[in-house]
Amino acid sequence: MPQWVQKPANQVLIAGNPIYLEAEIGANATPAEMVAGRFVIHDTNDGDVKEAGAKALNVLGQLDVAPDKKESDAYAVGEQARLLTGVYEGKVTLLAGENVAPGDRLVTAANGKVAKLAVGALGAQGAVIAVALESSNVTVDAEIAALVDTLGGHNMATS
């Protein structure tokens, strides 16, 4: 039996029972950033999404891998996408240069990626949307395992 968290190939969900939502990639989304594993927020129309920005407070969910796509394939504007929401173990894209260890709280960074929660006033640093389950300290974006909670961080207290 493998020890600790094993990241599956070509899927975001590692374990758990997320809530699935269907959404459309919105007109204001950046197609190159709309890849599986990135966090999204509402766009201008109901049911439309775009990539989350740094320190977002209104994260809706995480893009999932479409059945006809690879994990690295981008969604186009107007395309249907499935979102993972709720509490689950998933793969997240950690911003290049971030130094995290298991237990570190994560917030959104640019383009739907995540970064380590900075020291500062609660709320001013963005909503905590995940807790790192593994270490990373590399100079490029890294895919790490995390305990994700897009429902408001009820399990992600910062103390």
| Per-residue pLDDT reduced to its tens digit, 43-85 | 999 999 999 999 998 899 999 999 899 999 999 999 999 999 9
| Residues 106, 77 share a domain | no
**Residue 52 within a domain:** yes
Token pair for 16: 């758990």
Asked if residues 77 and 149 have their Cβ atoms less than 8 Å apart, the reply is no
Model pLDDT, residue 121: 58
**Residue 32 within a domain:** yes
| Residues 93, 36 share a domain | no
- The residue ranking higher by pLDDT, 126 or 122, is 126
**Residue 46 within a domain:** yes
| Mean pLDDT calculated for residue range 127-152 | 93
Q: For the chain, what is the domain count?
A: 2
Question: What pTM, to 2 d.p., does this model score?
Answer: 0.91
Provide the domain limits for residue 26.
Answer: 16-85
Q: Which CATH number covers residue 23?
A: 2.40.340
**Residue 123 within a domain:** yes
**Residue 158 within a domain:** no
Which of these three, 85, 102, 135, is where a domain ends? 85
State how far the Cα of 13 lies from the Cα of 30, in Å rounded to an integer.
23
**Residue 51 within a domain:** yes
**Ramachandran sector of residue 47 (left: φ over 0; alpha: ψ -120 to 50; beta: rest):** left
| Residues 97, 74 share a domain | no
